[in-house]
Structure 1
Amino acid sequence: MTSHEPGTAKKQSSPSTHDAPESDRILFVPSGTTTRPKRHVDMVKWLHPAQLIRTGLDALVAAVFGARADHRLIEAVVRPQPLFFDYSDEAAGEDFWLDYVSDTGDGWNPTYAVARLLAKPSLELTDERGQTHALERGRILVLGGDQVYPGASRDTYEERLVQPYEEAMARSPAPSPDLFAIPGNHDWYDGLSAFMRLFCANRWLAGRRTRQSRSYFALKLPRGWWLVGTDVQLENDIDVPQVEYFRQMATHMQPGDRVILCNAEPAWILAATAKRPRGYLENNLDYLQEKVFGRRISLFLAGDLHHYRRHEDPEGRHKITAGGGGAFMHPTHTPKAERLRDGYTLQKSFPDEKTSMKLARQNLMLIRHSPLFGLLTGALYLLLALATFTELGHHGAAQLPDAIRMVAASIVHRPWSLVLGLGTIGGLIGLADPAFGRGRMLAGTLHGLAHIITAFFVAWSSLYFIVSGLGICAEPQPQALAWIDPTDAGCAGWVPLWTKFFMGCALTFLGGFLVGPFVMGLYLTISVNGFGTHSNEAFISLAIPDWKNFLRLRINRDGELTVYPVGLERVPRKWKETNAGPYEPAYEPDDPRATGPVLIEPPIRVRPRD
């Protein structure tokens, strides 16, 4: 491989992992170590109350400080990097292979399952036509963004990315592929510090040598192909020094050269759903695509959306979203993008849209997937009940109008209860997906009213069960410890007033814990399946580890690029140690329900420019 700068060309070898100095190989954990991780982490529980708070704070800090402390500007000054890394002289007379995977580092099971397949020297896979294809491991491994979840830190990278990749890849046989990575928004949550330490220090990671010194790069591939990896930070845009870097790189391209452009986010999907298209005067990334590279770009690759979708234009160029490296699954039936603004049309989805809609309906059992989310709805329902507390224990279903009038009177006499109700509605309007457009306020209002009405029935039924069901009631006296007369009408016994109060609170909280997630799940199901909104929220709630994918690319002797999309429908949940020697993955599947890898669709051929 050659690292190229203007006027210089320096040959560099690609040594085996096993020949690397130990000081270079150690980054987070020793590469090739036989020590097993103490635990294999589960998928991120996004709706866990503590996780919601942490994620919100991370996003807030990143949004406030990220654009004002752009690490890329510092890189351009203090971290020199060749204009491109030259692989064009390799694989003379042979096929050249490279791998692309994105959105890794969530649960151990899916992350390791994909890493294990990437580590194998070769794969023989069958496509939907029944044809078998032999795929060789790539000379280069490109990580396409969002390498770790929920946010970037030294410990999170080690636990959710380095450990599973070490177990799968550190001991794979030589020659060792080179590793390049571009950051996604989750990598930026710590200002890119952990990413730079891990991928931009020219060290070994999981049996792969990192080469880049910046968060963006260019690779000159054999037979007129180039691969460009951009850093779009948090704003889906690139900085001016990055534009200048790629503009200088483009001066080394020959007429007829083709480009594979890797972005961390599928800008084409965002553009298809935007009300107003952007121009290159508003966005540096658009300028790079339209004015610097132009029609040289034959293949667009991106992650961020955790599924596989491919669009193709009449000239045979492709835009592929392949964010299946280990993170939770995103739906493929939304956002709708069957036809893009520039004439690309949808060709394939994995999973298909029918399956995606079916999976979304699992939100109706949200408590099963995110059980601790009920703590939030339980607390909300209890607060709403306390704010409008009224003695409804003797009112059955036949007295519903009377119960409503009593609660309404309580609201009038307690203005802060009205404030709490309006705050609930206002908060859920704020959480409503902007994709609702003008209906966002209506969607949030209906969602808020649904929780308020449900809280009313939960509290009412709790009091009715205590008083009319169990026969527990208390004299309406102001004393905090009033005792009731067991001969009082409708009372089967007596308890302190505070006991009845805490019983009512406990039952109301329990009802909110059980019923509240269903209301939220119903809202998410209707939103994602009926209106194509809340696609992210509806699937982070489920944390589905299945439907993973990565891409294996081949440049043949004639300069034709072929993309092999590898899919894994169900990842293993159980594993067994192999004890098979130093050059095999540490674990093999031990789950009869797991499925093997397949080609998502027949090989995709991208012809070189005439």
Structure 2
Amino acid sequence: MSESSRDTARGAGWGPSEPGLYQRLMPVQVRKLSWLDPRVLWAARNGVLASWFGDPTGRTRGRLVAAQAAAGAPADKVVRPDVPDRFSFMVLGDTGEGGASQYATVPGLLKAGLDTEFAVIASDVIYPVGSADDYGTKFFRPYQDYPAPIYAVPGNHDWYEDLAAFTRVFCADAPPPAPEPRPRPLTRAWLRTLLWHRARPSDGEHLAEARESRSAPEQRAVQPGPYWAIDAGPVRIVGIDTGLLGTIDAEQGAWLREVSRGPRRKILITGSPLYVDGEHHPCAIEGGGTVDDVVRDPEHHYVAAIGGDIHNYQRYPVDVDGRTVQYVVSGGGGAFMHATHTIPRVSVAGVGEREFRCYPLRGDSLAFYSRVYARRLRLRRFFTLTEDEATAVVAQRLGIEPARAPAPEVRITLRVRLVAGLLGTGRRPDRAARFRLPVRKLYTQLFSPGSVTYSPPFFKSFLRLDVTPEAVRLRCFAATGNRAQELDPPVEDEVTIPLT
């Protein structure tokens, strides 16, 4: 087994190394996605409009599901593939930026997932707005050699064009839903409708051609809607659609409660994680209750809840009335990396630093971002931290034992402490709001989405789950973009979840 980031800095991808072969998979020309481009931000405006003028996605989803039901989708929305009691599947989240960091995950994914029965994408299949024209280079091409079906739950970016392209790709060209009734003039809904971003009439002209990259019968997955369940061996995998704002509508909530009943062990896949960055986000259900209420109910027998949306890996083993539920963030499948060094010392739901896991390690995250900011501000000598300096200062500021010990001769100088403070190491949001230097807020909230890099290490990740009647073995694999980690993807975290 290859070294991981918990073993050595080289295992994390730092230092001289041979670049991976992922670049051979990429198109000749790749349009670099910039989250600082006003055109991109304007196209992705629907999330802001929904928060200002009311979220219409629940009603849109209801009409979409009704159209699929009329077209013959199963009423219980359960897929029942021919899967043995012992099988494996992959999970990767927030994949579709289409750049080097997405393609860098592919060789390791194929290596670790060659014998798996299917894969699931958890959130944001396509950036920036879920356009059908982007599926060719951001879904079909990168995963053309994955031999099994791929299912998906949508993220907020897939909803920026009302999920039209997502349903065309994953739901067997389902018929479009009935149009929304026209709102009364001069109302909030009317204003939202005027500003709402919609797909171009010509969007998806090349979708049929793109499908040829994954046209083998064994690669074909047809799911009954944006939310679904898969009965596979001894487990039921339940996928929910959290829309634009991270909530679910009453109709989906009623289905979730119904499909969660019974003794079969269950794994939730959601576009919005329930525990993330040291905080609990239970996910509200319209009309009352939360998704986490459903997960915690002992009669529903959930053993894990895996969510995307946040672009890194985190795991919280939470004790729920004497049983452990593994709450996992798995959003490192291709998009820009969300920092982990800004996660404060973890103390939530009985989970502390000793039990908490994340990837990239906080020190590697700080070292990565110090280089990003050094490049953007052209202050390389000041901002750039070595991996050892970043690891040491994170451990000092949070009062934790580093997962990878820094070199004994490393010194935490005033400059190192100042850079760590400017980049928000381990600070909670309420304290960050009082931080006087605007650099910290500006770079972590604005430049973080613009921090896509085009050379390793990328700190991407994906999951493999091996299921038997007795247990589920969950492993988080790293993808750095280096050749060594392509040939033998390192395991950054592993846990065995009992089913009996």
TM-score range, shorter chain: 0.5 to 0.7
User: Kindly tell me: are residues 39 and 187 of structure 1, through their superposed partners in 2, closer, same or farther at Cα, counting changes over 3 Å?
Assistant: same
**What is the rounded CA distance, in whole Å, between the counterparts of 1:77 and 1:280 in structure 2?**
18
In 2, distance between residues paired with 1:311 and 1:603?
12
Tell whether 2:467 aligns with 1:551.
Answer: no
Structure 1 SS opposite 2:229: strand
Distance in 2, Cα, partners of 1:104 & 1:439: 29
Q: 1:537 aligns with which of 431, 442, 446?
A: 446
Q: Using the alignment, how far apart are the partners of 1:438 and 1:338 within structure 2? A: 16
Q: What residue is the counterpart of 2:253 in the other structure? A: 243
Q: Percent identity?
A: 23
Q: CA deviation at 1:66?
A: 7.1
Unpaired runs of at least 5, structure 2 = 1-24, 175-210, 379-426
List per-residue Cα deviations over 1:260-286 (Å, max 9, x = no partner).
011111122278177x99799754424
| Superposition pairs of residues 133-172 of structure 1, within 5 angstroms | 136-166=114-144, 168-169=145-146, 172=147
Query: 1: CA distance between counterparts of 2:251 and 2:449?
Result: 35
Post-superposition shift, 1:74?
Answer: 0.8
Q: How far does residue 111 in structure 1 lie from its aligned partner after superposition?
A: 2.2
Q: What is the correspondence of 1:84-483 to structure 2 with a 5 Å cutoff?
A: 84-87=78-81, 90-91=83-84, 95-120=86-111, 123=112, 136-166=114-144, 168-169=145-146, 172=147, 177-201=148-172, 206=214, 207=216, 208-223=219-234, 225-251=235-261, 253-254=262-263, 257-269=264-276, 272=279, 282-291=288-297, 296-314=301-319, 315-336=323-344, 338-341=346-349, 343=351, 346-367=355-376, 436-437=429-430, 440=433, 447=438
SS in 1 for 2:315: strand
Offset, 1:595: 5.6
| 1:193–1:342 distance in 2 versus 1, CA, 3 Å | farther
- Mapped to 2, the partners of 1:230 and 1:277 lie a distance apart of 11
SS of 1:300 mapped into structure 2: strand
Contact 2:313 2:360 in 1 (8 A): yes
SS at match of 1:98: strand
- d(CA) in 1 for partners of 2:274, 2:68: 28
Matches of 2:164 and 2:54 in 1, distance apart?
12
1:238-297 CA-partner distances (Å, limit 9, x unpaired): 11111222333234x23xx211011111122278177x9979975442443345x76611
What is the aligned partner in structure 1 of residue 400 from structure 2? none
Secondary structure, in 3 states, of the residue corresponding to 1:245?
Answer: helix
Q: Deviations over 1:39-93 (max 9, x none)?
A: 34254221234434444x3443454577225321113322123321224x6325x
CA distance in 2, matches of 1:539, 1:277: 24
Match of 1:68 in 2: 56
> How far apart, CA to CA, are the structure 2 residues paired with 1:263 and 1:50?
29
Q: Give the alignment's Cα RMSD to 1 decimal.
A: 3.5
* 3-state SS of paired residue (1:261): strand
Q: How many residues align?
A: 375
Are the equivalent residues in 2 in contact too, given 1:99–1:137 (CA < 8 A)?
no
Rounded to whole Å, the distance in 2 between the matches of 1:76 and 1:136 is: 33
Distance in 1, matches of 2:256 and 2:303, equals 17
The whole-number CA distance in structure 2 between the counterparts of 1:195 and 1:319 is: 26
Say if 2:343 and 2:428, in contact at 8 Å, map to a contact too.
Answer: no
CA contact (8 A) 2:97 2:126 kept: yes
Structure 1 residue 202, shift from structure 2 partner: 6.5
8 A Cα contact 1:258 1:608, kept in partner: yes
Distance 2:283 2:238 in 1: 24
Give distance in 1, aligned partners of 2:370 and 2:260. Answer: 48
Distance (Å, rounded) in 1 between the aligned partners of 2:485 and 2:377: 21
Counterparts in 2 of 1:64 and 1:192: CA distance versus 1, 3 Å: farther
Deviation at 1:553, TM superposition (A): 0.9
Larger mean Cα displacement after TM superposition, 276-285 or 105-114: 276-285
Whether the aligned pair in 2 keeps the contact of 1:329 and 1:544 (CA below 8 Å) is no
C-alpha distance after superposition, 1:100-135 (max 9, x if no partner): 111111133232232343345xx4xxxxxxxxxxx6
Distance 2:301 2:228 in 1: 17
What is the CA–CA distance in structure 1 between the aligned matches of 2:296 and 2:124, rounded to whole Å? 25
Among 604, 607, 610, the alignment partner of 2:495 is: 604
Is the Cα contact below 8 Å between 1:351 and 1:547 reproduced in 2? yes
Secondary structure of the corresponding residue to residue 220 of structure 2: strand
When the two structures are superposed, what TM-score results if normalisation uses the length of structure 1? Answer: 0.55
Deviation at 1:149, TM superposition (A): 1.3
Measured in 1, the distance between the counterparts of 2:345 and 2:135 equals 33
Give the match's secondary structure for 1:567: strand
Higher helix residue share: 1
Q: Aligned equivalents of 2:249 and 2:266: distance in 1?
A: 20
**Higher normalized contact order (CA 8 Å, seq sep 6+, divided by chain length):** 2
Distance of aligned partners of 1:368 and 1:165 in 2 relative to their CA distance in 1, 3 Å threshold: farther
